[in-house]
Amino acid sequence: MSKKKEVVEIVDEMHNEVIEFLQKMVQTPSINPPGEYEAISRVVADRFKQLALEAETILVPEEKVKELGLATPRINVLGWLRGTPGHPVLVLNPHLDTVPIGENWTVDPFKGEIKGGKLYGRGASDCKGRIAAYAYALAAIKRAGISLKGTAVVAATVDEETGGLLGPKYLLDHRFLQPDFAIVEGSAYTIWNAMNGCLHLEVKVLGKSIHAAAPERGVDAIEKMNKVLVALYRYRDSLRLKKSTVPGLNTPTLVVGTISGGTKTNILADKCVITIDRRILPEEKGHEVESELFSLLRGLEKEDPQLKLQLRTIMLADSFGPLPESHHLIQTLVKNGTQVLGEKPKVEGVAGFGDSRFYWAKGIPVCNFGPSPKVIWESNAHGADENIVLDDLFKSIKVLALTLIDLLGESWKEGFRYPN
């Protein structure tokens, strides 16, 4: 029996073990905000050890956590399957945190219930199912007795749902991770080779409150915000003229996500606040988009002396990619995906943003791959009744294990490194 066939059979034999691990993770809340990591990091580190991976727990220094206005510990967990020095290092990067529960669940979000071939719960798809897939891809290789020349590491990181600065960015900046290439959480049937970036901006209009019986004596912040909204929606419509050349991506977008203002019905509003989400194409530069919006809004102040604005960038995440479809990392995933899934995975960009950008910024070839249905929104990630199709989970483990054997196996020459 070939080693690859043995690995595939081992994945099938691990069925109950994989499900039990995923259920245990779902049953361990890791909601962000605020960032609940102490329990989930223990669960993941303990399983890495049980799988005979070298487990490493990295606590971000408290001062760095406080610098970002955070109150809870940030704990990243690495699980290493080490090869020999001088050979490639590949990072598999899922994340530990989940979004809050939300409403309208028909199942317990923290049980991990299985029905209809799906496992349900918050984080089942995004991203605990991917932690399970990456960990057990390494475990299957190890149980088959395959000694990789290269090194693989599962980096289960923090804060992807709120920007990832203390997750992969911290690990890369401080050289806990020094990979030659990376696979970040994503889709099985579509390999993402590019992602949009994103700007989150807070716009605050300052008015002057007065009794509602004498509005002419004050400045209505809500009325002034209306001018801002009209300008922003006109700007949004202009973005439709920009088109990305990356398959899967379309145009930039702008959404006003929240609005609040006023204190009481019979008081002229002295404040109105909105937050904006502006998606950034790979062809654009994040800082230029930020400057463009600031310039637009400051221009409104010049037109109206009563319009007083406070602008604050909440987050600026650059795009990544596109990594060429011809790159060996993508072609190896496509080859093994076609064999296991029974169809050739597509290669295209996705309009979301995520941790891949931190690898791309360091010149590290990266793409996104992991268990998901053909239509990723069917997993209800971030919504009620989030789920993962178990058949997709196990197929993804097989694709990943075979890909790791191809990328990190004995055919590599001493000193080989992927070009940036």
Residue 263's domain comprises 197-316
Same domain, 128 and 175: yes
- End-of-domain residue from the set 265, 296, 316: 316
The average pLDDT across 144-163 equals: 96
Q: For residue range 77-107, what is the model confidence (pLDDT) as tens digits?
A: 999 999 999 899 999 999 999 999 999 999 9
CATH of the domain at 288: 3.30.70.360
pTM, full prediction:
0.92
Q: Give the pLDDT confidence score for residue 418 in this predicted structure.
A: 39
Which residue type, as a one-letter code, is found at position 38?
E
The average pLDDT across 240-246 equals: 96
Percentage of residues of the chain with pLDDT beyond 90: 94
Question: In total, how many domains does the chain have?
Answer: 2
The average pLDDT across 4-22 equals: 97
Q: Is the pLDDT of residue 419 over 60?
A: no
Q: Has residue 43 been placed in a domain? A: yes
The average pLDDT across 130-151 equals: 97
- End-of-domain residue from the set 316, 342, 359: 316
The average pLDDT across 198-215 equals: 96
Same domain, 207 and 160: no
Same domain, 81 and 132: yes
Q: Has residue 416 been placed in a domain? A: no
Same domain, 53 and 122: yes
pLDDT band at 374; cut points 50, 70, 90 = confident
Same domain, 21 and 127: yes
- End-of-domain residue from the set 295, 316, 337: 316
CATH of the domain at 97: 3.40.630.10
Same domain, 45 and 167: yes
Same domain, 58 and 180: yes
* β-strands 308-317, 75-81 pairing: unpaired
Same domain, 224 and 260: yes
The average pLDDT across 241-264 equals: 97
Give me the chain's average pLDDT, please.
Answer: 95
Q: Has residue 270 been placed in a domain? A: yes
